[in-house]
């Protein structure tokens, strides 16, 4: 009963072998196909849940499950701690066999979350943004902004990247963080937020704006064809896009069940919310008119995207023999005897001498 462990350094090793651009291209295509094929009867995705708290720092830890009927269950655990010195988003993926409950894989999910969030925006932008888009605007220049730019830049040919962040250090370090994948000659220009919104063709908002403090821009001046990928509205009360712009736009949620509670869709009435990304995936030509009008992809984070990125990384891990196979769960010959494997692994005398349970005895005295 072996579990495949993929640490952050295993994933970095894999990315080095595959190449970041090729990996992103593969992920974008896989995700687009997964949206087309998504059948909620075969792949069950409940809305996520979690613990939200203010102490010791404002943050949350959530669990995002998915089950492929008759095959496997994915449980992603994700933390959001915007005041932490570590990445704001940290996550771990556990994959389980639904025939036995055995853990198939355990993997660092932080890089994979950033990759799949970027890839999802690339897919949505391909279907809803103007194909000739040359200017992308980024509000919030943290970790997710890097993969937003990388992924969407695989689909569009940008001449200009406009950036805005309330944190001067994040803004200043952004050009260096994106230089490894940016085409030569593409300008990255820090721009006042209203000018950024007024001039870009595609806008990504990926901020850690606090609950109740949004929206993060005004939105009264935009291109007629502006496409927005809203990434950071993912908690009740946390929004990035002004209601006035949502009302003037075609709004496509990634996962309506969740988006209505946590995403930009929480600001809208059900009748003002457009079809979900999977519906657009099944017939993009029916929505092509929106490429020349305003649209918003309300990305709250869909567990299907987590499953697809993990599946892809596990395939590559097998191909390149990267990762560690570990027997986390042990089994004896008699499934009814939980002590059998202990006595083989250690020594029967442990039970007699009492060493391992001495503490238990003491605490009872
Ligand atoms: N939709 C998804 O699937 C998904 C996936 C991962 C993360 N997220 C969300 O995306 C957001 C960004 O995540 P991250 O990992 O990049 O975080 P991060 O902390 O690395 O970056 C967030 C940036 O937003 C900036 N910011 C905060 N308020 C702002 C404002 N009003 N205007 C401009 N900039 C502002 C911060 O200064 C920071 O640089 C978070 O809210 C996170 O929950 C969503």
Phi/psi of residue 234, nearest 5 degrees: -145, 25
Residue 251's beta-bridge partner residues? 296
Q: Is the pLDDT of residue 26 over 90?
A: yes
**Average pLDDT over every residue of 257-279:** 97
193 lines ligand 1 (CB under 6 A): no
Q: Which residues contact 222 (CB under 8 A, 6 or more apart)?
A: 197, 198, 245, 294
pLDDT tens digits along 331-341: 788 889 888 87
Predicted local distance difference test score (pLDDT) of residue 351: 52
Whole-number Å distance, alpha carbon 206 to ligand 1 midpoint, is 4
Whole-number Å distance, alpha carbon 311 to ligand 1 midpoint, is 26
**Helix crossing, 143-153 with 20-37: angle to 10°?**
80
Whole-number Å distance, alpha carbon 2 to ligand 1 midpoint, is 36
Predicted local distance difference test score (pLDDT) of residue 329: 85
pLDDT tens digits along 149-159: 999 999 999 99
Position in ligand 1 atom list of the atom nearest CA 235: 43
90 lines ligand 1 (CB under 6 A): no
Comparing CA positions, the residue from 234, 265, 210 lying closest to residue 50 is: 234
Predicted local distance difference test score (pLDDT) of residue 346: 62
206 lines ligand 1 (CB under 6 A): yes
- CA 140 to the chain's CA centroid: 16
pLDDT tens digits along 183-234: 988 999 999 999 999 999 999 999 999 999 999 999 999 999 999 999 999 9
Q: What is the pTM of this model?
A: 0.94
Long-range pairs for 195-200: beta carbons < 8 A, 24 or more residues apart:
195/162, 196/137, 196/139, 196/162, 196/163, 196/164, 197/137, 197/139, 197/221, 197/222, 197/226, 198/222, 198/223, 199/135, 199/137, 199/162, 199/223, 200/135, 200/136, 200/137, 200/162, 200/226
pLDDT tens digits along 290-331: 999 999 999 999 999 999 999 999 999 999 999 999 999 877
Kindly list the strands in the beta sheet with 250-253, ordered across the sheet, starting from the edge strand earlier in the chain: 187-190, 160-164, 135-139, 202-205, 227-230, 295-298, 250-253
Peptide linkage before 31 cis (omega within 30 of 0): no
**Average pLDDT over every residue of 132-142:** 98
Predicted local distance difference test score (pLDDT) of residue 350: 52
Predicted local distance difference test score (pLDDT) of residue 361: 43
Predicted local distance difference test score (pLDDT) of residue 345: 64
Which residue has the least CA distance to atom 10 on ligand 1? 232
Whole-number Å distance, alpha carbon 160 to ligand 1 midpoint, is 21
Q: How far apart are CA 316 and CA 194, in angstroms?
A: 43
Ligand 1: which of 84, 88, 265 to mutate, most ligand atoms within 8 Å of CB? 88
HEC-encoded secondary structure of the chain: CCEEEECHHHHHHHHHHHCHHHHHHHHHHHHHHHHHHCCCCCEECCCCEEEEECCCCCEEEEEEEEEECCCEEEEEEEEECCCCCCCCEEEEEEEEECCCCCEEEEEECHHHHHHHHHHHHHHHHHHHCCCCCCEEEEECCCHHHHHHHHHHHCCCCCCEEEEECCCHHHHHHHHHHHCCCCCCCCEEEECCHHHHHHHCCEEEECCCCCCCCCCCCCCCCCCCCCEEEECCCCECCECCCCHHHHHCCEEEECCHHHHHHHCHHHHCCHHHCCCCHHHHHHCHHHHHHHHHCCEEEECCCCHHHHHHHHHHHHHHHHHHCCCEEECCCCCCCCCCCCCHHHHHHCCHHHHHHCHHHHHHHHHHC
Q: Is the pLDDT of residue 352 over 80?
A: no
Predicted local distance difference test score (pLDDT) of residue 297: 98
Q: Which of 58-67, 155-164, 342-351 has the lowest mean pLDDT?
A: 342-351
Kindly tell me the sign of the dihedral angle through the C-alpha atoms of 261, 263, 269, 271: negative
Position in ligand 1 atom list of the atom nearest CA 231: 1
Q: What average pLDDT does the chain have? A: 94
At residue 355 the predicted structure's pLDDT band, cuts being 50, 70 and 90, is low
């Amino acid at each position: 009963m072996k579990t495949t462990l993929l640490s952050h350094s295993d994933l970095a090793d894999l990315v080095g072998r595959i190449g970041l651009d090729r990996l992103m291209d593969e992920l974008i295509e896989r995700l687009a196909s997964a949206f087309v094929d998504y059948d909620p009867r075969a792949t069950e995705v409940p809305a996520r849940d979690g613990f939200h708290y203010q102490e010791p720092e404002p943050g949350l830890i959530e669990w995002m499950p998915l089950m492929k009927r008759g095959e496997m269950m994915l449980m992603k655990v994700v933390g959001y701690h915007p005041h932490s010195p570590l990445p704001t988003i940290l996550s771990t993926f556990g994959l389980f066999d639904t025939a036995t409950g055995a853990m198939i894989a355990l993997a660092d999910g932080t890089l994979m979350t950033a990759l799949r969030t970027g890839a999802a925006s690339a897919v949505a932008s391909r279907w809803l943004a103007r194909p000739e888009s040359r200017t992308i605007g980024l509000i919030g220049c943290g970790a997710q902004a890097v993969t937003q730019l990388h992924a969407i830049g695989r689909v569009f040919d940008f001449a200009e990247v406009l950036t805005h962040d309330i944190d001067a250090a994040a803004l200043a370090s952004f050009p260096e963080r994106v230089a490894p994948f940016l085409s030569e000659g593409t300008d990255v220009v820090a721009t006042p937020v209203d000018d950024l919104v007024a001039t870009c063709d595609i806008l990504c908002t990926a901020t850690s704006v606090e609950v109740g403090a949004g929206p993060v821009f005004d939105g009264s001046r935009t291109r007629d064809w502006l496409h927005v990928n809203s990434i950071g509205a993912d908690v009740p009360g946390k929004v990035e896009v002004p209601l006035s712009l949502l009302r003037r736009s075609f709004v496509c949620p990634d996962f309506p069940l969740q988006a209505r509670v946590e995403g930009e869709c929480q600001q809208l009435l059900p009748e003002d919310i457009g079809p979900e990304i999977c519906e657009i995936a099944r017939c993009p030509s029916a929505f092509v008119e929106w490429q020349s009008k305003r649209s918003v992809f309300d990305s709250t984070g869909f567990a299907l995207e987590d499953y697809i990125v993990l599946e892809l990384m596990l395939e590559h891990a097998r191909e390149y023999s990267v990762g560690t196979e570990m027997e986390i769960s042990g089994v004896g010959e008699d499934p009814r005897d939980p002590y059998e494997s202990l006595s083989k692994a250690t020594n029967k005398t442990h039970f007699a001498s009492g060493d391992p349970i001495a503490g238990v005895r003491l605490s009872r005295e």
